[in-house]
Structure formats: structure tokens, C-alpha cells
Amino acid sequence: MFDIIKFSKKLTLDEVSLHKSTFMVRSITSILLLMVFACNRFPPEDDRFIENLMEQNPGQFADIFNHVDSFEVQIIYTQINRDQNNQPLFRSFYYNVDSNRYFYPASTVKLPAILLAMEKLKKLNIPLLDKYTPMLSDSLYAGQVSVRQDSTAENGLPSVAHYARKILVVSDNDAFNRLYEFIGQKDFNDKLNEKGYHIRILHRLNRFLSPDQNRHTEAVRFIQNDSTIYSQPMLVNADSILPPEIILKGKGYMMDDSIVHAPFDFTYKNFFSLTDQQAILKSVIFPKAVNSKASFDITEDDRQFILKYMSQLPTETPYPPYYKDTTYHDANCKFLLFGTDHDPIPDNIRIFNKIGNAYGFLIDNAYIVDFDNNVEFMLSAVINCNTNHIYNDGEYDYDKLGYPFMKNIGRIIYQYELKRKRVNKPDLSEFRFTYDLPHSNSQ
């Protein structure tokens, strides 16, 4: 192989041997470097980008690929680049996304409830009426529940703000129900559809009511100094919202401690696609980046309130006093990146998100920032953890399947973002907040 090498002088046998050894060492070194580069380089950013990235981590995702249909995984990863004026530019990548495929959205429906409730308050435009005004609920129909006080609030009274705080920090169900009742079932659906979001919100959460009862919502009164400043009668949706098709899933379900061997009917359950979930989150995080039709008409103060409590941790929250509850930890509602970790989330990372988990479906819809490394991205994912295909039996593989998947997909995207080149460094200062309590680095 040395025939092609031309030397300026005649070499001794020892010199030839030395050249051979040097060449072989350099060749082996080059090959090793290429192998290391090949193992660590990321796949091209194309239509298969997320899939290729997962394929580079077979230990974490082989089971996902082997059961892609039954796990019903959908992933949307959106890159964010900034121009010279710090304006965001977006590029989205999709894995197995189908906006018409049904999954139960669980608590993810609570974010649009907050937005619509605050939009309604602004539209009413009544003096002394805002998100902090005490809101009382009156029972007037079957299945309804009155509310006169809230011992977890600083002033002992319920309000849109306090309900929103409970939703954003720990995903409280009753808080969602109260906002659903203030908005009304008809407006909840009509307003979102007018904005271009194809969503069906048909029922309260964790209260098993008939379709008729869900069409009727409690009367609401806003009070100030023992005086009513706005009174809303019971709202009734006279028009039944009809899903486009019958939705049946699984092979059985529990009823009265017995298994019914027939698919579970989700036809009259809520529907909220992953694409619409990320789009609505984007409208809050980047309101100038969405068209006016798809935006929510809320005040900037309302938006800042939502962003703050969406990223605030239970350990930072005195009202309700979640910081005293040892069952809550930083990752309580931060599935992506952290799963069920009990270690504190690093101070440089904040997650603005809304999660959901019910009937075996696990969902997280997030905007993630790392202030130290100038990283930002959006990531939304859903997985069906009901591996035995029996609903209502409480046997869902969240711990073995769902939370590890959320943690792993979050981390491989985050690691990619750490190494991804950016032309312009983002200014993320608008997403820094002073939270209600200091973050504890030991839990």
C-alpha cells in the first residue's frame, strides 16, 4: 500500500517500518473518531427526525416501536429560533400524529377553561369585576353543588384567580368544574370552535353526571363587600353537541366490580387533539406569533398570571398551602424531562405546561426553557398506558411505561437542543418570574 507514496530520498528499512506504524496509528485513530462521531451525531432534521432520534436510543424506545399502535404515541416537537429582534421562528416535527385519532384529554382541557374564563371577565367589562373578585356558585339543578367559601384561598373565598392557580400548579379538578360552569358548555365549545380549535368539551371532571346535567351549569355571583356586582343565571345548552362518530376503545371495562366484555364508549367524553393543545399553549407563550382569530382576548396581567403559575412548583405555593404537603414534589405535574423524579428540578430550568392523566392516557404539553444554556423548545406528547385494554379497572402502566417515556422523550429532545446551533441567542428574560415562595433545592 506504500507504492503510491513518493519519497524525496531513499528510506532505510527502519524508516519504512516507522512510516508504516505511523500511518496505521493515524488510520485507526481516524476510524475511531469517525465511529465516535457517528454514535453521537444527530439525525438530519427531516420528516423522520423524532423517529430517528428515538432509534438512536433503543434501550429507551424499543418497546414504543414494538407497540406503536397499541400505545397510541403521538409527539410534536417544535424548535424555536430567534431573529435579530428576538422574534420567534418555529419549525415543528411530528411523530405518529393524527388530529382525528381519539385519546382522552383528561386535565389538558383545563388550560382553555382558564383562558376562556379570563376572556369572559374582560368582555363583561364591569367595574370591580376581575379574576380576583370572589365568585360564588349556587345549586339550582340536579347534580349541582353550591360554593360559598374556599379555605385554601388567602381570603377564604373562591375566585377565578384562585381556581386558575389550583389548576396550573396541581391540576385541581373541582377548580376546572367551577370555570366550566362560569363559561357554560355552549360558549366553551362555540368560542373555541370560532377560534379554529376543533375541540369538544362535554362534561365536568370527576363528577359523574348525565349529558343533561352537564348541559346545565350552576348560577354564579361575583360579590364585593357583601354586594353582588355581577349575577349570572344557570346556563343551559339547549343544543346537544353531537360527536361526528361513535368512539369505542379497548376490549372491556369495569362496572359494579365486574368486567363488561365490550369496548368502552368514549363518544360523549371530551376531545382535544395534541395539535390543538400545542397551538393553544403557543397562543399563551407567544401571543404575537398566532393570528388574531386563534388568540385569546385576555389582559397582559392575566397572561403573566397564567405564565407564572403554569411554571410555579407546588413547593413554591402557599395558597393553597401545597408547600406543606409532602406528597407534592417538583415534578408532580412536570412529566416531560422529569417523569416521577423526587429530586428538585434545577433552578435554571422552568416548564410552562399542562398535563393530563386518566383512563390510562398520559399527556404533557409543554414549553421548556433553560436559562443558563439559552435553550427553549415546545414538546407535546401522549401515550396510552392501558396495556390490558380494560378501562376503569385502575390498572394502568403509568409507572412502568408512561412516566419513563415522558422523561426519556423530554431528555433526548433537551440533549439535542443543548447541542443545536443557533444563529441568534434568545433573550428569555420575559419568562423569569418571582414565585410566591423561594425554590427549595432539598426536598
The pLDDT tens digits of the residues spanning 309-340 come to 999 999 999 999 999 999 999 999 999 999 99
Handedness of CA 439, 154, 311, 335 (dihedral sign): positive
- Pairing assessment for the beta strands 390-391 and 252-255 based on DSSP bridges: parallel
Smallest CA-to-CA distance from 309 within 301, 15, 294 is with: 301
> What average pLDDT does range 60-78 have in this prediction?
94
Q: pLDDT tier at 41 (50, 70, 90 boundaries)?
A: low
Q: What is the pTM of this model?
A: 0.90
Cβ partners under 8 Å of residue 273, min gap 6: 99, 100, 198, 199
Mean pLDDT of the chain: 91
What is the model's pLDDT at position 285? Answer: 98
- Of 46 and 182, which is predicted with more confidence? 182
Task: Judge contact between 392 and 264, C-beta under 8 A.
Answer: yes
Residue 250 confidence (pLDDT) above 50: yes
For residue range 196-210, what is the model confidence (pLDDT) as tens digits? 999 999 999 999 999
- The helix-helix angle for 110-124 and 300-311 (nearest 10°) equals 160
In DSSP terms, which residues pair with 92 in a beta bridge?
78
For residue range 132-172, what is the model confidence (pLDDT) as tens digits? 999 999 999 999 999 999 999 999 999 999 999 999 999 99
What is the model's pLDDT at position 184? Answer: 98
Instruction: Give the span between the Cα atoms of 76 and 282, in whole angstroms.
Output: 12
Q: Where are the domains of the chain?
A: 49-431
**CA 4 and chain centroid, separation:** 61
Q: Residue with C-alpha cell 401515550? A: 383
Residue 14 confidence (pLDDT) above 70: no
Instruction: Give the span between the Cα atoms of 424 and 426, in whole angstroms.
Output: 6
Handedness of CA 39, 42, 46, 47 (dihedral sign): positive
Residue 19 confidence (pLDDT) above 60: no
Amino acid at 167: I
Three cell numbers written together for 157: 373565598
Fold designation for 49-431 = Beta-lactamase (3.40.710)
Instruction: Give the span between the Cα atoms of 170 and 251, in whole angstroms.
Output: 32
